[in-house]
Structure 1
Amino acid sequence: KALEGAASQGAKTELIHLYDLNFKGCVSCFACKTIGGKSYGRCTAKDGLTPILERVEEVDALILGSPIYFGTVTGEMRSFMERLLFPYLTYTAPPMSIFPRRIETGFIYTMNATEERIKDFWTQHIAINEFITTESLPSLETYQSTLHIAINEFILKTMFGTTESLLSCETYQFEDYSKVVSSLFDPEKKAQRRKEVFPKDCEKAFEMGVRFARVSDSAALQR
């Protein structure tokens, strides 16, 4: 839906499924950090992810998406983020980004957790260290409230200049809950939320795409 929103404003979009690619995460070779090295600021690994990383340098907006597994993004998304973000991070004091420009970035998460559970997590587990301040953490009212999501926001904002998150909670996992061991969930409640709330989440994703396309167009005109 986010891509549909961007396309509605005339933007060219591309959907990439990470599971279709053959790649690994960062292996700490540090070629991207070597002074005077040919790969300074870029991941030197060559695999199925390489052309994707090259295209990111040319885009005006980037939207990531992942389900939440055990409180974090999928392994494939994590590996992608390592390869995408680490080359642009400098080991300076303070750390900075060498990505050449500002682009719009967003992250869309789907999860089983309820909004109430996320809110409870926020109130119990806020953690602040030298890299994360209260200003950088997402607001309680919007439920963008797990520490992991806050860290992702902080990193994406540091690397690319701006970011936002969209959470779709209590997602509908199975077509037929009676065929799966799932007494933890109320199938009727799940179906009702999919009917009443999920379309609103899709609308928010569409609006994110529209907004990113408009901001990108405005930035392009100013360049």
Structure 2
Amino acid sequence: MKILAFNGSPRRGKWNTATMLENALEGARSAGAETELINLYKLDFKGCSSCFACKRKDRKETGVCVLRDDLQPVLEQVREADGLLLGTPVYYGAETSTMRAFMERLQFPYLNYENYAESHFPRKIPTGLIYTMNVNKELAESMGYPAVFERARNYLAMHFGSCELLEANYTTQYDDYAKYEANAPGEDKAAYRAAHFEDDCRKAYELGVRLASGIPADK
């Protein structure tokens, strides 16, 4: 059992997205899985080039992106993986540009243009999607975030079999809020983090356990 996780945040240390992913992978390892975390911002790649090589009827391989860059060996690993986990902060109401480029390259080769209901990915594997964001749940809902998250979740489920969504709201952005513009005092963010982020990480751990156990999401 191999679980691959992808960090779509430019912050690779102990910040929100990376921490959530690490907790999820710890949960997966506790269930016996081998795990690997791939930091997408360390790779040199771009999104889909619309070459449609993966849709040609005379293609040599199905479900393979022909672009040759740092993402090529990663996508080869995906074909052998038993579970996938994507994590990203929310920038302007959606995934980071790097995560979005990855999602295009990851999924488009498996999109069957003749029958959307039949993915070109050869197996059913569980996937997970983690979003971390600066806004609270109420503001996220008023700004339409759930529709964006659900769309991404639905595509992953369509291509790979199932996808579980996990959100962490009102996350801390700065070490020192006095030095930067902010929509809330640093004390408020620190208090919210102290009250909620440990529980967010626990949920991530449990998500990792479910991925490693091959348990598909109900939705």
On whether the aligned pair clears a TM of 0.5, the verdict is: yes
1:48 aligned residue (70, 82, 91): 70
The residue identity in structure 2 corresponding to 1:113 is V
Answer whether contact 1:106 1:163 (CA < 8 A) is retained.
Answer: yes
The residue identity in structure 2 corresponding to 1:195 is A
TM-score by length of 2: 0.84
Matched, 1:11 2:10: no
TM-score by length of 1: 0.83
1:189-200 correspondence runs (5 A): 189-200=188-199
* Residue of structure 1 in register with 2:213 after alignment: 214
Q: Secondary structure at the match of 1:14?
A: strand
1:69 aligned residue (86, 91, 103): 91
Q: What do the CA deviations read for 1:7-65 (whole angstroms, capped 9, x no partner)?
A: 11111000000011111111001000000212432100111000100000111110000
Q: Secondary structure at the match of 1:106?
A: strand
* Residue of structure 2 in register with 1:157 after alignment: 157
* Residue of structure 2 in register with 1:20 after alignment: 42
Answer whether contact 1:31 1:40 (CA < 8 A) is retained.
Answer: no
Answer whether contact 1:65 1:107 (CA < 8 A) is retained.
Answer: yes
The residue identity in structure 2 corresponding to 1:206 is Y
Answer whether contact 1:34 1:40 (CA < 8 A) is retained.
Answer: no
Give percent identity, aligned residues only.
48
Against the structure 1 CA distance between its residues 214 and 40, is the aligned structure 2 distance closer, same or farther, given a 3 Å change threshold?
closer
Answer whether contact 1:68 1:110 (CA < 8 A) is retained.
Answer: yes
The residue identity in structure 1 corresponding to 2:71 is L
Q: Secondary structure at the match of 2:130?
A: strand
The residue identity in structure 2 corresponding to 1:188 is E
After alignment, is 68-77 or 36-45 more displaced?
Answer: 36-45
Larger radius of gyration: 1
Unpaired runs of at least 5, structure 2: 1-22
Structure 1 or 2: larger strand share?
2
* Residue of structure 1 in register with 2:170 after alignment: 170
Q: Secondary structure at the match of 1:192?
A: helix
Runs of 4+ in 1 over 6 A off after TM superposition: none
1:101 aligned residue (109, 123, 127): 123
Q: Secondary structure at the match of 2:34?
A: coil
In structure 2, distance between residues paired with 1:31 and 1:46: 13
Answer whether contact 2:125 2:214 (CA < 8 A) is retained.
Answer: no
Counting matched residue pairs gives: 193
Answer whether contact 2:117 2:158 (CA < 8 A) is retained.
Answer: no
In structure 1, distance between residues paired with 2:24 and 2:82: 14
Against the structure 1 CA distance between its residues 13 and 94, is the aligned structure 2 distance closer, same or farther, given a 3 Å change threshold?
closer
CA RMSD of aligned residues (A): 1.4
Unpaired runs of at least 5, structure 1: 123-144, 217-223
Matched, 1:179 2:179: yes
Answer whether contact 1:31 1:39 (CA < 8 A) is retained.
Answer: no
